Copies of this chain bind each other. A is one copy, B any other.
Amino acid sequence: MEKQIRVIEVKRSIFEHNDLDADRLRGELKEKNIFLLNLMSSPGSGKTTTLLALAKALNGRVKLGVMEADIDSAVDAQKMAEAGIRTIQIHTGGMCHLDADMTRQGLYEFGMDGAEVIVLENVGNLVCPAEFDTGAVKNMTILSVPEGDDKPLKYPLMYETCDLLVINKIDVLPYFDFDVKRASDYARQRNPDIDILTVSAKTGEGIDALADWIVAEAKAWMKQG
């Protein structure tokens, strides 16, 4: 029997809408035939490690670029550059997310000529990044096994916003109380259309399927009228 919990709704702030600007940016990307993928997750779920594995899997298939967004430091961009991936670091000056205008600034600095697929690694955060449309063509989130399978219940907007859920760190499933089916069910409760893939960026398991997903989505976008 569930205990009765008192729930208090505190004040709701109005989030500035940048939806129009995001649509405009998608138009610009369409003109240049660029597929922008917005990658979101908690800190430490393995965004950077997944991208490093992905870059190998995509090598020779599409021209990949990565924009790394962080509050501070260039740790992630450093790793990308060392792996030979075309990259820039975006500092958000304390902000916990990127909006469409910040993404556009990043894209113009990055230089869009010659790129086909650009991944925006958003700030590690399950809340704010989901609220601001970056102008990306598709949104993807990573949920790692150690975080627990209840995250879709607690961060619903993230799952509603995303086209793809990647469950990462499946190599450590034996050491955690994480049920892939339960996590998938919770995610689909929030978003029945979400695609779900399981990977281990560390061992490489499932990374080819992720690469295939990205190539297929990028091709579909480029064909779109």
A44–B89 touching, CB < 8 Å: no
Q: How many copies of this chain does the complex contain?
A: 2
Cα A148 to Cα B79 with chains together (Å): 15
A88–B43 touching, CB < 8 Å: no
Give the segment of A25-33, A56-64, A68-76, A204-212 that binds chain B. Answer: A68-76
Cα A183 to Cα B2 with chains together (Å): 39
| A23 CB contacts on chain B under 8 angstroms | none
- Min distance, Cβ A131 to any Cβ of chain B, angstroms: 7
Taking CB atoms and an 8 Å cut-off, the chain A residues in 91-105 that contact chain B are 91-96, 98, 101-102, 105
A5 at the interface (CB under 8 A from B): yes
B5–A93 touching, CB < 8 Å: no
A88–B8 touching, CB < 8 Å: yes
Contacts A72-B154, A93-B9, A172-B175; A127 near B123 (Cβ below 8 A): yes
Query: Can you show 23 pairs from A to B with CB atoms below 8 A apart?
Result: A5-B81, A5-B88, A6-B89, A6-B109, A8-B105, A9-B93, A10-B90, A10-B106, A13-B93, A13-B94, A15-B94, A43-B154, A44-B148, A71-B127, A75-B150, A94-B131, A96-B96, A124-B126, A124-B154, A124-B155, A125-B126, A144-B146, A145-B146
